[in-house]
Amino acid sequence: MVTLQLPLPTMNNRIFSHFNPKPASCLCRVRNRSRAFPSNKYGIFASWTAADAVFGGKEGTTTTTTKEEERLLPSELQPELMPKHVAVIMDGNVRWARQRNLPSSFGHQAGVKALRDLVDVCCKWEIRVLTVFAFSTENWLRPKLEVGMLMNLFEMVLKEDLENLMRQDVRISVIGDSKKLPKSLQKLKTKVEDTTRNNSGLQLIIAVNYSGQYDIVEACKSIAEKTKDGMIQPNDITEAVIEQELETNCTKFPHPDLLIRTSGEQRISNFLLWQLAYTELAFVKSLWPDFGKADFVDVLCSFQQRQRRYGGRDS
């Protein structure tokens, strides 16, 4: 059977994110979330929403739920099929800001809030590892002002959230080439990693100045040194040897089960290449600051319906 797609894809037309038939409530939420931002007649609403997203919600606008209710998985999700490791390419902050006629910094700050919410949800739903692509090696080519702002934002978030993350028992690991980062951020990174090293809850891996090809090349350099020193012969280099040298050796679950990329772009963009060999990919139309719990539930619904065969066959 052949599935037709519309001649002129609309914002709602999913392409690489494969949403199998699932409860209608999930589907409706996705369609509503992936709709383009309202037109200018809702400009005032737009500004309020932006401020709200950056600085927190208004009082009385959220329903109160008990901690137990928040921890429970939604009924659509099965606990035994939850992914152990979720990776996210947090794309769309600048476009989000532009849509609201705001500077890009607002977009990144809104993105931080979305990340905080996701970390919160992952902690509650006992996902073991969450890897986020915060800054790629290619992002250095962005305007210097934006890059500087991002470095400051990383520092500010790591400082401000450390206490909260300790309370949530989150372990932080930062992967990527830290030598190019500002010295203060390098020191803070080491401090945060050391402080949270013994935490046993969610492991939050933040990829900063990271590229998948760089990760593999660095692993290979390390292996080449070992072959030069006679510690290993070229014939003994296997996939396991390379895996041990990759930056994701900081976790027991280095291979993401699920990769989510927001903003509708359908590319890996040099993120975790080796580790994504058998990862289920989900490309979501929502921009990162708009990606909320409901979108996450929809993606997880879709993930849980997929058959992962790893090259083999079903029995």
Q: List residues with catalytic annotation.
A: 91
Using CB under 8 A as the binding rule, whether residue 315 contacts another protein is answered as no
> How many other C-beta atoms are found inside a 10 Å radius of the C-beta of residue 282?
25
Let me know: does 262 contact 287? Beta carbons within 8 Å.
Answer: yes
Using CB under 8 A as the binding rule, whether residue 279 contacts another protein is answered as yes
Q: How far apart are CB 134 and another protein at their closest, in Å?
A: 17
CA angle 56, 59, 61 (to 5 degrees): 90
Please list the helix, strand and coil fractions of the chain in percent, rounded to the nearest 5, in that order. Answer: 50, 10, 40
Using CB under 8 A as the binding rule, whether residue 267 contacts another protein is answered as yes
- Identified binder of another protein from the candidate list 10, 11, 15, 126, rule CB under 8 A: 15
Q: How far apart are CB 158 and another protein at their closest, in Å?
A: 27
Q: Which residues does residue 258 pair with via DSSP β-bridges, in sequence order?
A: 86, 280
Using CB under 8 A as the binding rule, whether residue 231 contacts another protein is answered as no
Q: Which positions ≥6 away from 39 have C-beta within 8 Å? A: none
Using CB under 8 A as the binding rule, whether residue 306 contacts another protein is answered as yes
Using CB under 8 A as the binding rule, whether residue 144 contacts another protein is answered as no
| Window 46 to 105, contacts with another protein (CB under 8 A) | none
Residue 8 phi/psi, 5-degree rounding, is -115, 100
Using CB under 8 A as the binding rule, whether residue 21 contacts another protein is answered as no
Element (H, E) at 136: strand 129-136
Using CB under 8 A as the binding rule, whether residue 177 contacts another protein is answered as no
| Interface with another protein: number of residues (CB under 8 A) | 54
Question: Cα dihedral angle (146, 152, 157, 163), rounded to 10 degrees?
Answer: 180
Judged by the rule CB under 8 A, the positions of this chain that interact with another protein are 1-3, 5, 9, 15-18, 20, 138, 141-142, 212-213, 216-217, 220-221, 223-225, 227-229, 234-235, 237-239, 242, 265-270, 273-274, 276-283, 306-308, 310-313
